[in-house]
Amino acid sequence: MKGCLSFPILAVNDSRTKHMFDNRYGTGQSTLDGIIRATNMLLAGSTVVVAGYGWCGRGFAMRARGAGATVIVTEIDPVKVPEAEMDGFRVMPMMDAAKLGDLFCIVTGDFNVIRGEHFAAMKDGALVANPVTSTP
């Protein structure tokens, strides 16, 4: 048969386990590890703002809390907001979080989450990480 594969394939990125395990645990840990290695920032005692509470955001927030940071989540999905709160995180709009954060990590896949007014409200020396894997 022309055009058919002679072996089965699996669309791994569409599997539930990809989101639940690789995105949540793997991406959460590797993103945090990359930020720490690049900045040498001590997370214990700092305030980390996680923009987005999808699978990657959940994992990143969990790892940041585990490293001793106070974690604030910003999220616009009305279902994910109470989920983040029930997981023990403070949830607030980015404008409020911008005044408090020491490290901001955007894990939404979007690069328009933090805008000029947010940067203007941030503390001097705040770090922003936007691990976007593609451009518009």
d(CA 59, CA 53) in angstroms, rounded, equals 9
Which positions ≥6 away from 10 have C-beta within 8 Å? none
pLDDT number for residue 131: 66
Q: How far apart, in Å, are the Cα atoms of 107 and each of 9, 12, 40, 73, 112? A: 29, 20, 20, 11, 11
**pLDDT tens column, 3-40:** 677 877 777 777 777 777 777 888 888 999 999 999 99
pLDDT number for residue 1: 53
pLDDT number for residue 67: 96
pLDDT number for residue 136: 47
Average pLDDT for residues 106-119, to the nearest whole number? Answer: 90
Structure pTM? 0.85
Q: Is the pLDDT of residue 2 over 70?
A: no
Could you tell me how far CA 99 lies from the centroid of its own chain? 18
Q: Tell me which DSSP letter residue 8 carries.
A: -
pLDDT number for residue 22: 77
